[in-house]
A and B are shown apart, each in its own frame.
Chain A
Amino acid sequence: MAKDEIREFRLVGTRPDRPDGLDKVTGRARYGADISAPGMLWGAVVRSPHAHARIVRIDSSKAEALAGVKAVVTRADFPTGLTGEDWNLQENTMAGEKALYDGHAVAAVAATSALRAQEAARLIEVEYEVLPHVIDVDDAIRPDAPVIREGAADATVPEGMPPNVVRYIDFGRGDIEAGFAEADLVMERSYKTEATHQGYIEPHACLGQLGEDGKGEMWVCTQGQWFIRRMCTAVLGLETSQLRVTPSEIGGGFGGKTTIFMEPLSLALSRKAGGRPVKIVMSRSEVLRATGPTASASMDVKIGMKKDGTLTAARAEFRMQGGAFPGAPVDMALYCAFAPYKLPAVQHIGYDVLANRPKCAAYRAPGSPMGAFAVESLLDEMCRELDLDPLEMRLKNAVNTGDTSSYGPKFGTIGLIETLEATRAHPNLSAPLGPNQGRGIATGYWFNHNGETSVSMALSEDGTVQVSIGTPDIGGSRASIALMTAETLGIPYEDVRVNVVETGALGVNEPTHGSRATFACGKAAVEAARQAIGEMCRRAASEWGIDPEAVEWMNGAAQPAGPNAGEFPPMTIAEIAGKMGSTGGPISGHHESVPDGVGASFGCHVVDVEVDPETGRTTILRYLVVQDAGRAIHPSYVEGQYQGGAVQGIGWALNEAYIYGEDGRLQNSVFLDYRVPVASDLPMIDTEIVEVPNPGHPFGVRGVGETGITPPLPAIANAIHQATGARLRQLPMSPPRVLAAIGEARQG
């Protein structure tokens, strides 16, 4: 598939056992809740049962009188005067004047056992004055909606907008009206998606310790220990460097563990309890009520198309609520919405709206799935109207290397066309379909990401290598970093140990997010290894008494670069390491940067469904993910990302949704009611890895995590349409909703 050079690799592209596999199949790996400390206390959090309420009074006297209770904290224990996102984080950590959503923390307590802490939490009396609330984004944007927070709007919001609009986005190019006039078919439709949760199986957990001197430590399950450090210290008014954060193994994150929730509470409780460590482990219901979720969206899309499928113009207007704080990913949704297509004229409008729900967190390709649901559904509808093949229509309009994207920047080397062609060639496309069955296709896009990155490599005395990285390993990245490092050094994969280290050990690293770890840390690890190779060549040169430039590195050893350099047998990494103490000291390599050369990622999914006309239940018969990885370093974990992303998207499409009662309380805060896909819901998920190498990475890596969650939403809607004739424009496509849509479609 490679468009440019074909390179042969010794290790890259192979499938060795992951280095942390043994720990993880034996139960030895230590996750957030798996650590205890001497003198440890347990924390519990008191949460608002109301969607919107003024906090009149908090009385903790009964709790404090309970034996074993060592500390109670409320907002009064936090510093004042924070602004911007720091204030948002603090307010979300612990409510101030008002509880802004069902589940919002209002107090926390630490006691000598988990049960005692929970008892004490129940004894904390909170008096509320319940206020009117608003949950749905279209309700929240109405001018007469309950106002969540005065003055939360930023400078982008024009005068006169409804009070819950806090950010307004408007960009585009070309003459949109002329584009629509030129089209043979113009269609405009409205779509809605519900909030869903990342659904990581490991609830948030941390063990925090903070002394009166402002020095602290934390063990926490997180995607990013430096983010935890910065956010916790900001919220508590501490010096950033005085908190040392060690990441545990992490039981899934998907974006939801890139921010803080109860972590500052454990530190605040610890400080109040004389510096005793405090462990807080969330229940599943706390996770669903108060962490994560993604935004819900209401979207209008209008597209113009010629008879031959050529797109002439497109317009999107997206409204998203991301909870009681600014930050719904409406900008990302708009950037991604039309990214796969060449468009002469395009307009994007977005509203970030407040509602009485938990503060949204990133969720795999934040925003992209919602926008794709609307745009890819509408394109499918237009193809049917014009009798066009949906895959050919996409090929006709697909962006290619060097094209200007719908949101502005020019694409570097991209592989959308290769991805669509690989899809067309796949046998799943010719599988026969029976009655009540349908096939849906959709594409998806994610930018991929670089981010602040710091990596260190050090040579050990026996010639093996340790690499310190700052991005927690959520899905095999230790393996991919070890493969790239060993490939670069010319040594066995097993000789590299990759350690995910605490904040004290490296410069700032962004989290494992945005599909960046294998791209950015991989690139930095290669650079660090190259630096060490340079030093090893210098050591060999000085021993041989020749010029360092006359030494080259081959197959894990220094050797003379040519006949003129002199006759010396290769000096292996082990030999150099064995005597480094007497040849100049430790040998290491470092790399710090925000690596450039990010390679964008496109995917195309094809799904076959069967819809039971009696019940409206949709069964996934066949599922295909085709995506450009740039280069698959460890193909098994690339496939794993494709499969996992697709299944999260399937859940979002068919079952998952935040369901609120009239009272604004979340009604499905356990896994029984918030139903994620289970093994018996699914077939095997077929994958095809397209490799159009990213020239911005030494091995061509793009990043593969995010894109896979985007196409399933529209692909399944399109398949259901083909199976039933019913077009669903609202998620989730649950059996009752599908049944109703089939009924409507039959009535015409």
Chain B
Amino acid sequence: MSKMHVTTTVNGDEAEFLADPRETLLDCLRDHLGLTGSKEGCGTGDCGACSVTLDGELVCSCLVLGVEAAGKRVETIEGMANGNELHPLQRKFIEHAALQCGFCTPGFLVAAKALLERNPDPTETEVRYWLAGNLCRCTGYDKIVRAVLDAAADMRKEAA
């Protein structure tokens, strides 16, 4: 199949790649742009390890075709910190030991950031349901949920 030229914006920078129309956005990010922070845990939309935002919408990049990113804004884990300044969620994940193997972590961080942008003061239950599409096999979720709640509290304080 002949490849298609795709122009898009990734983490604020213009990015171009040639995509086989069958390739997912996840494949394109990882294999064509070298952005391997987004992970493939399933390829079927069930684990959330590939979470990115597309024009601000949280999506599983394994369920989006690379060519669909044309003209859109893609945000990935690689764009989450502001230079050397970590996002509060990233800081809290380290502080709360919310990662063991860390493979699910990029997806959780991207998904949690999308939650806090919509709902800066979520309850524990809201966090648990929002993150129900992200699988973690190591932590049992306890420390992840705590880290998200703590980051939300910090961000509210900063915003106040």
- CB distance B143 to A640 under 8 Å? yes
- CB distance B137 to A284 under 8 Å? no
- CB distance B102 to A20 under 8 Å? yes
Question: Which secondary structure dominates chain A's binding surface?
Answer: loop
- CB distance B41 to A202 under 8 Å? yes
- Inside 8 A of B109's CB, which chain A residues have their CB? 25
B156 in the interface, Cβ–Cβ < 8 Å?
no
Question: In the assembly, what is the distance between CA of A15 and CA of B98, in Å?
Answer: 13
- CB distance B40 to A203 under 8 Å? yes
Question: In the assembly, what is the distance between CA of A683 and CA of B20, in Å?
Answer: 43
* Contact residues of B between 63 and 113, Cβ < 8 Å to A: 76-78, 80-81, 86, 90, 93-97, 99-106, 109
B53 in the interface, Cβ–Cβ < 8 Å?
no
- Inside 8 A of A114's CB, which chain B residues have their CB? 27, 31
A57 in the interface, Cβ–Cβ < 8 Å?
no
- CB distance B101 to A284 under 8 Å? no
- Inside 8 A of A20's CB, which chain B residues have their CB? 102
**B39-62 Cβ-contact flags toward A at 8 Å (1 or 0):** 111111011010000000000000
Question: In the assembly, what is the distance between CA of A201 and CA of B36, in Å?
Answer: 15
B23 in the interface, Cβ–Cβ < 8 Å?
yes
* A201 and B47 in contact, given A24-B99, A647-B141, A680-B128 (Cβ under 8 angstroms): yes
A29 in the interface, Cβ–Cβ < 8 Å?
yes
Question: In the assembly, what is the distance between CA of A748 and CA of B27, in Å?
Answer: 57
- CB distance B94 to A474 under 8 Å? no
* Contact residues of A between 1 and 46, Cβ < 8 Å to B: 15, 17-18, 20-22, 24-31, 33-34, 36
- CB distance B140 to A646 under 8 Å? yes
- Inside 8 A of B42's CB, which chain A residues have their CB? 284, 670-671
**Nearest-CB residue, chain A, relative to B146:** A684
- CB distance A26 to B101 under 8 Å? no
Question: Which secondary structure dominates chain B's binding surface?
Answer: loop
**Nearest-CB residue, chain B, relative to A34:** B36
Interface residue total, chain A, C-beta cutoff 8 A = 62
- CB distance A670 to B44 under 8 Å? yes
- CB distance A671 to B135 under 8 Å? yes
**Nearest-CB residue, chain B, relative to A634:** B97
For B90, B102, B127, B146, which residue has the most chain A Cβ atoms within 10 angstroms?
B102
- CB distance B100 to A640 under 8 Å? yes
**Nearest-CB residue, chain B, relative to A635:** B97
- CB distance A115 to B95 under 8 Å? no
* Contact residues of A between 625 and 647, Cβ < 8 Å to B: 634, 636-637, 639-641, 643-647
A676 in the interface, Cβ–Cβ < 8 Å?
yes
* A636 and B143 in contact, given A33-B40, A284-B42 (Cβ under 8 angstroms): yes
A624 in the interface, Cβ–Cβ < 8 Å?
no
Partner of A636, one of B23, B78, B96, B132: B96
- CB distance A26 to B78 under 8 Å? yes
Least CB distance, A562 to chain B, in whole angstroms? 43
- CB distance B46 to A670 under 8 Å? yes
Least CB distance, B88 to chain A, in whole angstroms? 11
A254 in the interface, Cβ–Cβ < 8 Å?
yes
- CB distance A284 to B37 under 8 Å? no
Question: In the assembly, what is the distance between CA of A254 and CA of B44, in Å?
Answer: 23
Question: In the assembly, what is the distance between CA of A647 and CA of B100, in Å?
Answer: 14
A679 in the interface, Cβ–Cβ < 8 Å?
yes
- Inside 8 A of B133's CB, which chain A residues have their CB? 678
* A636 and B22 in contact, given A31-B103, A284-B44, A643-B139 (Cβ under 8 angstroms): no
- Inside 8 A of B135's CB, which chain A residues have their CB? 201, 671, 676, 678
Partner of B143, one of A36, A254, A643, A671: A643
Partner of A27, one of B27, B106, B134: B106
- CB distance A637 to B20 under 8 Å? no
Partner of B97, one of A200, A636, A671, A672: A636
- CB distance B142 to A17 under 8 Å? no
Question: In the assembly, what is the distance between CA of A36 and CA of B150, in Å?
Answer: 37
- Inside 8 A of B23's CB, which chain A residues have their CB? 115
For B140, B143, B146, which residue has the most chain A Cβ atoms within 10 angstroms?
B140
- CB distance B90 to A679 under 8 Å? no
Question: In the assembly, what is the distance between CA of A476 and CA of B102, in Å?
Answer: 10
Question: In the assembly, what is the distance between CA of A646 and CA of B104, in Å?
Answer: 18
* A474 and B101 in contact, given A200-B137, A684-B142 (Cβ under 8 angstroms): yes
Question: In the assembly, what is the distance between CA of A15 and CA of B143, in Å?
Answer: 14
Partner of B41, one of A22, A26, A254, A284: A284
Interface residue total, chain B, C-beta cutoff 8 A = 61
* Contact residues of A between 693 and 733, Cβ < 8 Å to B: none
Question: In the assembly, what is the distance between CA of A289 and CA of B117, in Å?
Answer: 39
- CB distance A648 to B137 under 8 Å? yes
A395 in the interface, Cβ–Cβ < 8 Å?
no
**B113-156 Cβ-contact flags toward A at 8 Å (1 or 0):** 00000000000110111011111111111111110000000000
A685 in the interface, Cβ–Cβ < 8 Å?
yes
- CB distance A474 to B37 under 8 Å? no
Partner of A251, one of B39, B93, B131: B39
- CB distance B22 to A115 under 8 Å? yes
* A644 and B137 in contact, given A201-B103, A476-B100 (Cβ under 8 angstroms): yes
Partner of B132, one of A15, A198, A678: A678
- Inside 8 A of A284's CB, which chain B residues have their CB? 41-44, 46-47
Question: In the assembly, what is the distance between CA of A676 and CA of B103, in Å?
Answer: 16
**Nearest-CB residue, chain B, relative to A42:** B31
* A252 and B142 in contact, given A648-B137, A671-B44 (Cβ under 8 angstroms): no
Partner of B90, one of A25, A281, A685: A25
Question: In the assembly, what is the distance between CA of A735 and CA of B105, in Å?
Answer: 31
For B103, B134, B145, which residue has the most chain A Cβ atoms within 10 angstroms?
B103
* A27 and B77 in contact, given A254-B137, A476-B97, A678-B132 (Cβ under 8 angstroms): yes
- Inside 8 A of A640's CB, which chain B residues have their CB? 97, 100, 138-140, 143
**Nearest-CB residue, chain A, relative to B124:** A684
Partner of B46, one of A22, A648, A672, A682: A672
Partner of A202, one of B101, B132, B143: B101
Partner of A249, one of B38, B80, B86, B102: B102
- Inside 8 A of A200's CB, which chain B residues have their CB? 101, 103, 137
- Inside 8 A of A18's CB, which chain B residues have their CB? 94, 97
Question: In the assembly, what is the distance between CA of A28 and CA of B37, in Å?
Answer: 6
* Contact residues of A between 578 and 596, Cβ < 8 Å to B: none
Partner of B36, one of A30, A202, A671, A672: A30
Question: In the assembly, what is the distance between CA of A474 and CA of B137, in Å?
Answer: 12
**Nearest-CB residue, chain B, relative to A15:** B97
For B30, B77, B97, which residue has the most chain A Cβ atoms within 10 angstroms?
B97
- CB distance A201 to B94 under 8 Å? no
A283 in the interface, Cβ–Cβ < 8 Å?
yes
- CB distance B99 to A25 under 8 Å? yes
Residues of A at the B interface (CB closer than 8 Å) are 15, 17-18, 20-22, 24-31, 33-34, 36, 113-115, 198-203, 249-254, 281, 283-284, 474-476, 634, 636-637, 639-641, 643-648, 670-672, 676-682, 684-685
Other A-B contacts than A202-B41, A203-B40, A640-B140, 10 sampled, CB-CB below 8 A, are A26-B37, A114-B27, A670-B44, A671-B135, A677-B140, A678-B132, A678-B133, A679-B128, A682-B141, A682-B142
**A to B CB contacts below 8 Å, 16 in the list:** A18-B94, A21-B99, A25-B102, A26-B77, A27-B37, A27-B106, A31-B103, A201-B39, A250-B101, A251-B101, A251-B103, A639-B142, A670-B46, A672-B44, A676-B137, A678-B132
